[in-house]
Amino acid sequence: MNVTVTCMAVYNSSIKVPDYLSFEEAIKYAKEHIDEIPCGELEYISGSDELDEDNCDFEENEEDGDDNLD
């Protein structure tokens, strides 16, 4: 069976913001420009895996014996 599993990860990065912004304004700015924040090294969040049932299916040409694992 082919399965799709989603999980979560976190990373640290940075973004340049205008000097005149307060911390709260800088957070808003970062949220509005999130697509400009470079992706850092991802750290997997343990236990976050979820099966995406809408994207699972049986492989068309499964070999004999592979489909009965009990």
pLDDT digits (tens, 9 = 90+) for 15-65: 999 999 999 999 999 999 999 999 999 999 999 999 999 999 998 765 555
In a domain? residue 60: no
Written as one letter, the residue type at 5 is V
In a domain? residue 66: no
Q: Tokens 């049986």 label which residue? A: 58
| Residue pair 48/7 in contact by the 8 Å Cβ criterion | yes
In a domain? residue 68: no
Closest listed residue to residue 1, CA positions, set 54, 53, 68, 67: 67
Question: Whole-prediction pTM value?
Answer: 0.64
Domain containing 21 equals 5-55
In a domain? residue 18: yes
**Parallel/antiparallel/unpaired status of strands 9-10 and 50-51:** unpaired
